Structure 1
Amino acid sequence: MPDREADTLADWLSDHPEVTHVTRDRYSRFQEVISAHSAEIIQIHDRFHLIQNLWALHNQIIQKILPARIDLGTPLPKPDPPPGTQTKADIRQTENARKKWEQAQVLQRYYTKGYSITRLSKQFNLNPRTVKRYLEMTGPPDTSRKKRPKALDAFHKQVIEWEAAGHSIHIIYKKLQDIGYEGAYGSVKVFVAQLRKKKRAGAPWENAYHNRRDIRRMLWQNNLSDERERDIINRVLKQYPTIQPVYAFIASFRDTIARRDQTGFVELILYEQIREDPLTGHFIRRLLSDLKPTLNAITYTESNGFVEGNVNRLKTVKRMMYGRAGFELLRQRMLYRPA
């Protein structure tokens, strides 16, 4: 439909009397128009939007309660992720590396048969520099992400010693320049500020900060089978007890939706209503004002997933083409389906 206006939706429903089920988001105007048109139409809250709204609540609470950098008093190890826990981006990166290595092996076979780099470039439609790089490969590309070194990393020991001797940040910066430091003054200022903050708290410098974004992901995914993440979650909940009931509510909400447990879902919502937590109050009131479609989302299998996937694809392609192409090419790319 061209817009989200009530009259547009009402006219569309009048032209389609065969409609018996509607999946929708929680936009109140949709609810009013569909209910006024026919009480027989079964309205279903789309699970995509339901979980999206829950994620928005989770993100809002995390940003409100947790600082941007969290010191739990323990180092933050970064071991290799266990099998089966890679993100979609990691899987895609690994697959691309495998394809590059396969193509490199093909190029290397042709090169040993006497094909020149120029001929391979034309035959495989690759830049000569790319062909040369592929010919030099001895295995799949390394897909591991390495931390980018900072100019101050090599001078941490000196900064800690000079700060302990009582030097100001300005003097420390000048002394660093004398021994070859070429980084910014701001980096020195931030490092010394962190060092002094830890000294006041009585914490050792070796303790690493936990990023709020990482904590948000751990609390959302709730991967308690991972011992390291379980330990971090327990420390966060102990250090910030305000999050405990919200964490339990969000985990239970997702679990009842996944198990299609309608009875457990109703009990959870009513319990949260009685608890009157100001952090979740608005979310619960909105659910209760339109509860039946939410319960239908647990009972029925209909979903807006296909449509939402195409909307996301359209937005991604549109951003990629912004400023470089017109509407006609955008239309062709959206209609194109690879064989």
Structure 2
Amino acid sequence: MLIDCETRKPLGLLPGRDAGTLAAWLREHPGVEVICRDRAGSYAEGARLGAPQAVQVADRFHLWQNLGTAIEQCVRRHNECLRRPGSGPGDRPDIPFSSEPPSAKEMSPIETRIRERHAIVHALLDQGHGIREIARELHMGANTVRRCARTEYPEQLLGSRRQPRPSQLDPYKPYLVL
């Protein structure tokens, strides 16, 4: 559903969720200056094709969702830095992840796939299969299977998925970090 954000009135209902449908609608309705959309990649592409002059922005909900995702990834990435209350400064942290994975609705498709892969690899290892045998059977690289085998919890794989990229904020981070 397309809505005019200023008047909050519906503009139209698209027959599909693909880039071509949105691009066609935008071409039929020239003059769009700002497109407020969700995080779907197809909408980004459709907006770029149908109204290249328009600025694409996120609404408050999706900004909060992006922030929550970023915080969750940061906490996962730095889980090893956290210590249990009462542990000494030199003690290695031992914070178990919850055994209850989040519901499928809360997980991205990549996170779901990583969790499933981790469970399958560990199940096969428990049955006595070797790394190369599992890699062949699952059509995965041996290094991927080894990485899964070395981790006790799938969250340890999720935390290291992304390498930090340069940011426009890098020059200002010393002033932002306390």
Q: TM-score, normalised by structure 1?
A: 0.21
Using CA pairs below 8 Å that are at least 6 residues apart, which structure has the higher relative contact order? 1
Structure number with greater Rg is 1
Larger strand share, 1 or 2 = 2
Larger helix share, 1 or 2 = 1
